[in-house]
Structure 1
């Protein structure tokens, strides 16, 4: 009779069934990571000022009403209604917190695979078939047609037990643990403020009572804040694969910090543009939930991640989400005020995640189009 796996054993076994871990163990070859031509990234990557996502000055956007504020609001409105992406400067996430998390991420991801798997036993694995849990993942599931070249550590920043477990794994002593926890708390607080401020402004552009909407659907989210540390190792053949395939995010907003290596590509007017790295800015994109809630006024940002042949790429991401009991549907308050028909059918978020999870790893992303009436 088989004995059920413990959470720790499940974590290690789960990571063993993921693409990058299997490659590191010699169980997959580079040939296994080759993607269909239509999904590959064109090289070299080019940064163009004429083709870039808008830069929003948050302090000016939240400041007194004047021409500069109106200019920022116009830039924001254009971004969320077209490509769904923009960069934010003068944001509330402390640079010191970002540096601390980035430093610990580099230390963790540079460890040998076996060491990472041993450390991950403290908090289990991250990705199940249709769900996201705190922990470590090392690529995509082996059964997925697309093999992904990345690894990630997802921390439940609102869960003291999870934070303590991660801190003990990543830090050498109690003083370092305190510094790490403090950085994580400050990052989470700044992220929440940034995301809520942006949601408030965007909901107000729809003519809605933002506080009422956020209090009803978002505030008190029992899932708390998740902070995802990502690493895309150097890849011998970046032109034949990618870190992540084209996809959109299942959330209201995603807030991302990327290092100077870059690799994030955004679909703008049907073309792929590479986002020029700015370590002082946070990249923000609209998620599927906000596109549906806005009844198609806001556009969920389609994006992918290109790999680098010589350098690792590191990033930090957090996702702003409604409460678990939220139903994915156009906001009733918006439909009532505009007297328009819903453009999307309703669905429970977990069911939508099941659908899009499979599509993404199959290279057949459809996003919110599967919900269109």
Structure 2
């Protein structure tokens, strides 16, 4: 039998809109009813999650590069996910962005409330978030977050002061790595050199920074950090503070992600599935919580330029005989997705072209 869920008045959730403050309450022994999300958070372990050695893509021998290109293609086709190693981003920078993000969550609540989202297009957003479950009930998530658009225009919370400098450098470094990966992905897809840069307008590519704070939860099987979802964009980069919690779905089974220190977890996102005309899949993933340690994750979502129209690549449509997805302006897709709170709904499903269309 599932543990009892302690009742909690809705007004208390509003007054304590950040989960961090709630989790630090010395009297919290149960998950409040507004957070009730029964789930089986168990995940399998796999030694088969692909590893991509970025150094061999950039400066390896021809044989090494060919091998890594095959690994990258297999990762995008079969897993929609890979572990990126030897990416060249300094370990000190990875540590600094985690620390600066943690400092944000430790700010007084009034500083964080300045960025409570009023619309999906707000360039900086902060809060905890909620979803509508299959029973049409609103469920609060067991996490706090801050998000900001960092490219082509840079936005950042005013505090903590060191976040701005660290985030600007992290954005620049990850943008360079993502662009190189996308060029190699284009090569794997048989597209002409420069095709990805041109059609996606990568000089003005969209980047979204997101930091998530998942405090210890008294009943991890009765709450969720983030339910199963896919990401907008082309490639999502994720690093964390060493506390596990990200799970990916592969062949209908959930897998825990284990990554070497200072590696980057990368998943292929919705717009890469669209551009590849379905060859590469946007993978469902979720964040589960635990009752022992706080988990911090930092995400950089890398996408096309805001005004780029993303659609299946022409040469691939020619091969397949038809396009499987409707075209859509990138930023419209992003803002539609950010404003969508329906559990289990996918923007991808909305723009897939059915046979009878």
TM-score, structure 1 length as denominator?
Answer: 0.79
Q: 2:67 aligns with which of 44, 65, 71?
A: 71
Residue aligning to 1:57: 53
Q: CA deviation at 1:146?
A: 2.9
**Residue 36 of structure 2: aligned partner:** 34
Asked if 1 retains the 8 angstrom alpha-carbon contact of 2:259 and 2:265, the reply is no
- SS state at 2:204 partner: coil
Deviation at 1:315, TM superposition (A): 1.1
More helix by share: 1
1:88 corresponds in structure 2 to 84
Q: Does 1:146 align with 2:139?
A: yes
Matched, 1:288 2:270: yes
Name the residue aligned to 2:5.
Answer: none
Are 1:340 and 2:339 counterparts? no
Instruction: Name the CA shift for 1:203/1:161 in 2 (closer, same or farther; >3 Å).
Output: closer
Q: 1:284 and 1:272 mapped to 2: Cα distance?
A: 17
Matches within 5 A, 1:235-254: 235-254=217-236
The 1:17/1:310 distance shift into structure 2, 3 A limit, reads closer
Q: Mapping of 1:128-147 within 5 angstroms?
A: 128=118, 130-131=120-121, 133-140=123-130, 145-147=138-140
| Structure 2 counterpart of 1:191 | 174
Instruction: Say if 1:278 and 1:117 are closer, same or farther in 2 by CA, change over 3 A.
Output: farther
1:318 aligns with 2:318: no
- 1:342 Cα deviation after fit: 0.4
Q: CA deviation at 1:333?
A: 4.2
5+ residue gaps, structure 1, are: 1-14, 172-176
1:205 aligned to which of 170, 188, 203: 188
Confirm whether residue 365 of structure 1 aligns to residue 355 of structure 2. Answer: no
CA displacement at 1:299 relative to structure 2:
0.6
Q: CA RMSD in A?
A: 3.1
Q: Evaluate the alpha carbon distance shift between residue 159 and residue 49 of structure 1 in structure 2; reply closer, same or farther with a 3 A threshold.
A: closer
Aligned residues: 333
CA contact (8 A) 2:243 2:294 kept: yes
Q: Which of the two has greater strand per residue?
A: 2
Displacement of 1:69: 2.5
SS at match of 1:341: coil
Q: Secondary structure at the match of 1:96?
A: helix
Ranges in structure 2 where 5+ consecutive residues have no aligned partner: 1-13
Question: Does structure 1 conserve the Cα–Cα contact (< 8 Å) formed by 2:186 and 2:195?
Answer: no
Among candidates 111, 117, 124, match of residue 118 of structure 1: 111
Task: Please tell me whether the aligned partners of residues 221 and 321 of structure 1 are also in contact (alpha carbons under 8 angstroms).
Answer: no
Indicate the SS of the match to 2:130: coil
Q: Distance in 2 between matches of 1:281 and 1:264?
A: 14
1:109 paired to 2:105: yes
User: Conserved in 2, the CA contact under 8 Å of 1:56 and 1:87?
Assistant: yes
Q: Distance in 1 between matches of 2:111 and 2:265?
A: 32
Looking at structure 1, the residues matched to 306 and 256 of structure 2 have their Cα atoms a distance apart, in angstroms, of 34
Q: Distance in 2 between matches of 1:158 and 1:354?
A: 15
